[in-house]
Structure 1
């Protein structure tokens, strides 16, 4: 059974572990230098972020999502739990909080693009660089509940 709840300070080590595992599994297009720089940025940012967690029956975090005013900034699932519906459950939770959601996905992460499109997101645009100005194009997506 998966429960969705808010993150707590004790969750941060596991959240960083989920993030690193998910990025290693899906972001092989990052240069080692960019991967390290993004890791440092994320480790400084995530502990203060208001996250939604999907946890198992033992309250062990399996995935997390960050939504800011209807924009999903992050959705990361433990690689061992991918394909089990946990990411979809978090997206559905987000859509109960916001009738319209947007997100940006790295174009090189085809699995994520396909996931969001299966969830009902539609493409609304493309940027040639990511939010930090790196050469990783973003696909802009939107979904209404």
Structure 2
């Protein structure tokens, strides 16, 4: 059973580890150098965003980070993908915010497909990510309930 709770500061090391495992499993276009560059950004933003942690049997297995209705991060531990954790986290976010929006790496077709199956539609595209790297982003939106 998946439970969802608000992040506490002591969760941060586990959430960063989940982020790392998730990115390594799904973002094959990102090398270890970029991972090392992104890690401090993840650590910096976790306390600044509304973060919800998914747990199975009391162990964190994924998280969603929100800035109002924008999904800034959604990462599922590599070993827990396909178990409903991502959908549970999006359901949790959708219950709190109408009209969710997000950006997803175009080079991560599994994530793009997941969001489309959930009901998100592409509303735009940027050729670079937020740090100016050549990782195109798809801008997606979920219609309000």
Q: Normalising TM by the smaller chain, what interval?
A: over 0.9
Q: Which residue of 2 aligns with 1:62?
A: 61
**3-state SS of the aligned residue for 2:100?**
strand
Work out the CA distance in 2 between the residues paired with 1:138 and 1:19: 18
Q: Report how far residue 41 of structure 1 moved.
A: 2.0
Gaps of 5+ in 1: none
Work out the CA distance in 1 between the residues paired with 2:43 and 2:66: 18
CA contact (8 A) 2:12 2:43 kept: no
Work out the CA distance in 2 between the residues paired with 1:31 and 1:23: 10
Gaps of 5+ in 2: none
Q: Name which of structure 1's ranges 96-105 and 41-50 shifts more when overlaid on structure 2.
A: 41-50
**3-state SS of the aligned residue for 1:66?**
strand
Q: Which residue of 2 aligns with 1:82?
A: 81
Q: Which residue of 1 aligns with 2:13?
A: 13
Give the TM-score of the pair, scaled to structure 2: 0.94
Deviations 1:33-61 (A, max 9, x none): 32221123222332454310111232x11
Q: Which residue of 1 aligns with 2:43?
A: 43
In the comparison of the two structures, how many residue pairs are matched?
Answer: 144
Q: Which residue of 1 aligns with 2:31?
A: 31
Q: Which residue of 2 aligns with 1:98?
A: 97
Give the TM-score of the pair, scaled to structure 1: 0.94
Q: Give the direction of change, closer, same or farther, for the CA distance of 1:69–1:45 in structure 2 (3 Å limit).
A: closer
Considering only aligned residues, what root-mean-square deviation do their CA atoms show, in Å?
Answer: 1.2
